Amino acid sequence: MNKKTKCMDHKGISYGSITEMCDAYDVSPTLYLKRIERGWTIQKSLEGKQPYFSRGGVDYYSQKEVCEAFSIHPNSFRLKLKKGYSIDDIVDRVSYRVEDHLGNGYANEAAMCAEYGVKVSTYRARIRKGLSKEEALTK
């Protein structure tokens, strides 16, 4: 694509060249063209970066921003991504929830074990021995 080619922005405004259009949006023509090559829309190419993640109308542009906004340790975040969790699951802390044999959800094993009056170490030892969740929690 030539920088002197006539073009139109996402609002329908015609420009004599890509350079002229980019000047109107304060974006360098080179950056605009690279963004287009990467598959960005004309609007995003002219108006700025694409968000890494969006939640509740708020855009986050990096893993660091997501981690800071949701109080998640960056190493934990990256590990969860590597294990195949989606960003939504990580942010919602779905991966951190534990369920008992009845389907009741708990924040962690300690909370679940406390509900049943079983030490976490006892629960884990029973699971290692091959007992079911129900047996490990109620025995």
Is the per-residue pLDDT at 8 higher than 70?
A: yes
Backbone φ, ψ for residue 109 (5° rounding): -60, -40
Is the per-residue pLDDT at 78 higher than 90?
A: yes
pLDDT tens digits for 12-64? 999 999 999 999 988 899 999 998 998 989 998 898 777 788 888 888 888 99
Query: Which residue has tokens 């802390």?
Result: 93
Residues 6+ apart with CB under 8 A from 46: 9, 10, 21, 22, 25, 27, 32
Using only C-alpha atoms, what is the Rg of the chain?
Answer: 25
Alpha carbons 113 and 38: distance in angstroms, whole number: 50
Q: What average pLDDT does this structure show over 101-124?
A: 91
Smallest CA-to-CA distance from 24 within 42, 1, 51 is with 42
Q: Which amino acid type is present at position 103?
A: G
* Separate counts of helices (H) and strands (E) for the chain: 9, 6
Is the per-residue pLDDT at 84 higher than 90?
A: no
The pLDDT assigned to 3 comes to 65
Q: Which amino acid type is present at position 3?
A: K
How far from each other are the two terminal CA atoms of the chain, in whole angstroms? 72
Is the per-residue pLDDT at 95 higher than 60?
A: no
The pLDDT assigned to 129 comes to 95
Q: Which amino acid type is present at position 48?
A: G
